Structure 1
Amino acid sequence: MSDRKCWTEHSGQVLHSKDGFDVIDCECCGFKHIIPLPSEEELREIYKHDYHVKDKPLMLEHQLEDREWLDATNNARLEKLEEFLGRKGRILDVGAGNGFFLQRAADRGWEAKGVEPSDKAAEYAGSQGLDVDCAVFDRSSAASLGLFDVIHLGDVMEHLPDPAGMLELCRDTLAPGGLIAVGVPNEYTPVQKILNRDMKVRPWWVAPPHHLNYFDRESLENLLTRTGFSPMHAEVSFPMELFLLMGRNYLDNPELGRECHAMRKELEMSLTRTGNRKFLDKLYTCFAEAGMGRTVLMVARKEG
């Protein structure tokens, strides 16, 4: 597509269209997002009641199946945060989900707090003895929480109508020298473009109204910088799109998707169990240099 569209103050080239929404490369925001953007009230209803029940009904079941891998992944992430911070401290998990990251943080000695808008997910996290508020993280809810040494947002920013506003709120909720860790899907990658443009695979990553924003490393880093952070570390996860290039089209086959995911898990756990996590990091650094990786995580320090 080569059309250019405007909506309120947002304008840019249209990349894809789906279900009445257009994905634009927004010149105002510096990252790709849909137009029109749903209201915050509409999104609150989606995530409070529907997301973990209607849209992601098997999320908890799959997370329980993946427990060993999730714990290893979360441990590695927390180790890096402890290294960058120089200690453990107060950590806030925004969009805590069912609480698996928060559980690892608490087990490692962090003072761990979570905020989660889904009532079902927050209820499960609470049943595991975790301190999770069923709420949207906004100025009102943040006012009673105090300051944190680290704020973690895993798979949150792609869902927000105002991601810059969220980062500004996180900055104000961090103690001086505090860290933010932001993980998002890595979209419009070279592999995705090849599959869509040259192999006519549908753009499966375009998923409005749940996914509003489409980041890559550069656009996420730029947004963090504009909102008062100094980026200091970036990493990616396994590029699942490689399976599509190898003829394993899991897009409309959930069972095959789980098989591909199991292969990815085995790769990572084999290297983790044998004490070769650093080699895994080097492998994923190579993927990142090629613009690949299914997700990108960026750690940044609060300026000032």
Structure 2
Amino acid sequence: MNDRKCWNDHSGMVLHSAEGFDVIDCESCGFKHIIPIPNEDELREIYKHDYHVRVKPLMLQHQLEDQSWLDATNEARLETIERMLGKAGKFLDIGSGNGFLLQTAQKRGWTVKGVEPSYKAAEYSCSQGVDVSCSTFDSECAASLGKFDVVHLGDVLEHLPDPTCMLDLCKQVLIPGGLIAIGVPNEYTPVQKILTEDMNFRPWWVSPPHHINYFDKNSLEKLLEQYGYTSIHSEVSFPMELFLLMGRNYIDNPDLGRECHAMRKELELNLTKSGNRKFLDKLYECFAEAGMGRTVLVVAQKNK
């Protein structure tokens, strides 16, 4: 596509269209997102009742099946954050899901709090002994929480109609010099471009209205720096799209997708359990240099 579209104050070239929405490379925002952008009331209902029940009905089951891998992944993420912060302090997880990261953080000595809009996920988290409120993280919620050393958002920013508002709210609950850690899907990668432009794959990662925004490392870092943070660390996860290049088309085949995920888990667990986590990190640094990685994590410090 090479059309240019405008919607309200947003304009840019149209990259893809799906479900009545267009993804534009927005000139004013500096990152890709859909237009029109759904309003917050519509999205609040989706995530309160619909997302974990209809869109992600097997999320908890899969996380329980993956728990040893998930624990190792969360341990590595927390070790990275602790190294930069210099301690285990107060940790807020926004969009905390079923609470697995919070459970691991609590075991490592963090004082933890979660905010999760899904009743089902928040209820499960509380049943596992972590403090999670079933709420949307808005100005009223932020004002009630106090201050934290770290705010974490995993797979949150891509769902928000105004991610800049979220970054401002996070500043309110962060201590001076505190850390924000944001994980998002890494989209419009070189491998995705090859698959869609040269191999006739559809753009499977475009999924409105659940995914509104589409980030990569550069656009996420620039957004953070624009809103009062200094990026100090980034990392990526395994580029699952490599399986597509190897002839394992999992896009519309959830069972095959789980098989591919199991191979990815085996790789990471074997290297972690054998004491070679540094080699795994180095491998993923190489993926990041090539613009690859299924997800990207950026850690940034609140400017004092």
Using the size of structure 1 for normalisation, the TM-score is 1.00
Distance in 2 of aligned mates of 1:76 and 1:138: 29
Structure 2 counterpart of 1:116:
116
Distance in 2 of aligned mates of 1:231 and 1:16: 30
Query: Alpha-carbon deviation of 1:136?
Result: 0.4
Distance in 1 of aligned mates of 2:129 and 2:284: 34
Unaligned 5+ segments in structure 1 are none
Q: 1:213-228, aligned counterparts within 5 Å?
A: 213-228=213-228
Structure 2 counterpart of 1:239:
239
Using the size of structure 2 for normalisation, the TM-score is 1.00
Query: Alpha-carbon deviation of 1:179?
Result: 0.2
Q: What whole-Å deviation, never above 9, does each CA across 1:253-301 have from its counterpart, x for those lacking one?
A: 1110000000000000000000000000000000000000000000000
Structure 2 counterpart of 1:65:
65
The answer on 1:3 being equivalent to 2:3 is: yes
Query: Alpha-carbon deviation of 1:51?
Result: 0.3
Query: Alpha-carbon deviation of 1:10?
Result: 0.2
Structure 1 counterpart of 2:25:
25
Distance in 1 of aligned mates of 2:238 and 2:207: 20
Structure 2 counterpart of 1:144:
144
The question of whether the paired residues in 1 share the 8 Å contact of 2:92 and 2:150 is answered with yes
Structure 2 counterpart of 1:94:
94
Identity %: 73
Distance in 2 of aligned mates of 1:204 and 1:211: 12
Q: What whole-Å deviation, never above 9, does each CA across 1:218-276 have from its counterpart, x for those lacking one?
A: 00000000010000000000000000000000011111000000000000000000000
Q: One-letter code of the match for 1:119?
A: Y
Distance in 1 of aligned mates of 2:176 and 2:82: 16
Structure 1 counterpart of 2:183:
183
Q: What whole-Å deviation, never above 9, does each CA across 1:95-125 have from its counterpart, x for those lacking one?
A: 0000000100001000000000001000100
Structure 1 counterpart of 2:264:
264
Structure 1 counterpart of 2:229:
229
Query: Alpha-carbon deviation of 1:173?
Result: 1.0
Structure 1 counterpart of 2:198:
198
* SS of equivalent residue, structure 2 residue 145: coil
The question of whether the paired residues in 1 share the 8 Å contact of 2:142 and 2:172 is answered with no
Q: Give aligned pairs, total.
A: 304
Query: Alpha-carbon deviation of 1:168?
Result: 1.1
**Once superposed, what is the RMSD of the aligned Cα atoms?**
0.4
The question of whether the paired residues in 1 share the 8 Å contact of 2:150 and 2:174 is answered with yes
Distance in 2 of aligned mates of 1:72 and 1:164: 31
Distance in 1 of aligned mates of 2:214 and 2:223: 12
* SS of equivalent residue, structure 1 residue 144: helix
Structure 2 counterpart of 1:52:
52
Query: Alpha-carbon deviation of 1:190?
Result: 0.1
Structure 1 stretches of at least 4 aligned residues deviating more than 6 Å after TM superposition = none
* SS of equivalent residue, structure 2 residue 144: coil
Q: One-letter code of the match for 1:58?
A: L
